[in-house]
Structure 1
């Protein structure tokens, strides 16, 4: 599959890494209507790429209490038949994910996909629980090891900064952000290890502040749970991850299928639900 992007729009996206969110939004508004996807393009070769997701409950599938992340929404954005294996674990830190055997499962899945001849991407997003028990620097050291081990099995890591919590300050306009140091540690590891990076923390904060508390809390798994996502929240932030990945990986976008209508709601800061 390939997304066709007008060259003038592509040029404007080259400033994404240093631009402000508002600058980035302008680029997205130009980009999305010009995405062209033909049925024959995405039907051919969509099994040549696979994805393995590692992380905490904000990536996990939401089948048990205190869970509900963007992972399944991202998998739903892929062409039918594309392997997308969600290994994320509720309550996990970068340490407990390894100690509990979940990281080994992640590596085994990635290795199997590589051996089956697929380009395999491993997404890694932690921070929500690490911040409770370790410094951002300690989490960063664990992420560095994760990156090395993913590459050792022939897969490619994509580091993702933490999905924002939807806790608003008293002004009901801005978010009370407690995750920034751990998001910054993820960015630093990505820069040092030269990995792909999706800054979900920045963009999810931007979107949640744009739609405001009422719409943001409609995405909660439970009324007072400003961390985990219900099905609608999974769809919103899964689509956001897919869009950020499509932009970051081009021209190696693979089997990510556009949903221009949904993306336009997100990138114009409008509530979908």
Structure 2
């Protein structure tokens, strides 16, 4: 004989069945670590042309690919402004989801002219609300140009709106030594990057200071071997050191789960 069950018991059993089915069928999606920046983050195609590299092309090897997908969207020649006006940030936003990370490093190209005929990529210095109306000879449009801080805030705030975790890096130092010490960015873009992080609540890696400390320890002659072409773009060895400093910075971040995805 069959045992009779009440309607309530049957409904409860069905709810449990569908709940378990949904759980079993759920496909876990890895978070994505999006990296945005300039040529010191990704040089050229990111494959070492002319012996030059960026740290974003190397850092993926330090992460467990079964836990996180590392995507380097940095591109040479861009500033915080032109990474946006090129449409590159909007392309990332379309796919950005809760739990993803955005690591950003800009500043090297932001000091360029605002409206020159070569690249027209500069931003107004500082983190204030200043703006300037220009004619952009590259894009052939009128454009309102804002401060470095304005564009960095845009990255942070829009990433947060998607539920992603923004991490600001101060720009890597150049190979500029004076009196035995490398020149730091703690009076301009390195400082402004930190101030924007404090202002917006973004996580911050003082990459400029971390690398500069290593450069000072190594000395000008040893550091010079990292720069085969100019004083800005490092080779594989130099970019590997930079990537390791980013990793060290990630490990030092308080309350950030990204470190758990490292190998």
- TM-score, normalised to structure 2's length? 0.70
**What aligned pairs does 1:54-73 form with structure 2 within 5 A after superposition?**
54-61=36-43, 62-63=46-47, 68-73=53-58
1:233 corresponds to 2:223: no
The one-character-per-residue Cα deviations of 1:175-224 (angstroms, maximum 9, x if unpaired) are 2346731111111111011111000011111111111122212222xx24
Contact kept, 8 Å, 1:164 with 1:201, in 2: the verdict is yes
Indicate the residue corresponding to 1:22 in structure 2.
none
3-state SS of paired residue (1:187): helix
Indicate the residue corresponding to 1:23 in structure 2.
none
3-state SS of paired residue (1:131): coil
Match of 1:125 among 85, 105, 115: 105
1:90 corresponds to 2:76: yes
Distance 1:231 1:47 in 2: 32
Indicate the residue corresponding to 2:34 in structure 1.
52
Q: Unaligned stretches of 5+ in structure 2?
A: 1-27, 113-121, 128-146
Question: Residues 247 and 177 of structure 1: is their aligned pair in 2 closer, same or farther, counting only changes over 3 Å?
Answer: closer
Match of 1:136 among 126, 130, 133: 126
The structure carrying a bigger strand percent of its residues is 2
**Structure 1 outlier segments of 4+, above 6 Å:** none
Q: Which has the higher contact order (CA 8 A, sep 6+)?
A: 1
1:108 corresponds to 2:94: yes
Match of 2:188 among 181, 189, 196: 181
From the CA coordinates, give the structure whose radius of gyration is larger. 2
Contact kept, 8 Å, 1:67 with 1:90, in 2: the verdict is no
Distance 1:140 1:178 in 2: 15
Indicate the residue corresponding to 1:75 in structure 2.
60
Contact kept, 8 Å, 1:200 with 1:241, in 2: the verdict is yes
3-state SS of paired residue (1:136): coil
Q: Unaligned stretches of 5+ in structure 1?
A: 1-45, 258-273
The structure carrying a bigger helix percent of its residues is 1
Distance 2:70 2:96 in 1: 10
Distance 1:109 1:249 in 2: 26
> Comparing 155-164 with 179-188, which one deviates more in the overlay?
179-188
Pairwise CA distance, 1:159: 0.7
1:256 corresponds to 2:262: yes
When the two structures are aligned, how many residues end up with a matched partner? 202
Pairwise CA distance, 1:106: 2.6
Distance 2:211 2:87 in 1: 29
Aligned-pair Cα RMSD in Å: 2.2
Question: Residues 85 and 108 of structure 1: is their aligned pair in 2 closer, same or farther, counting only changes over 3 Å?
Answer: farther
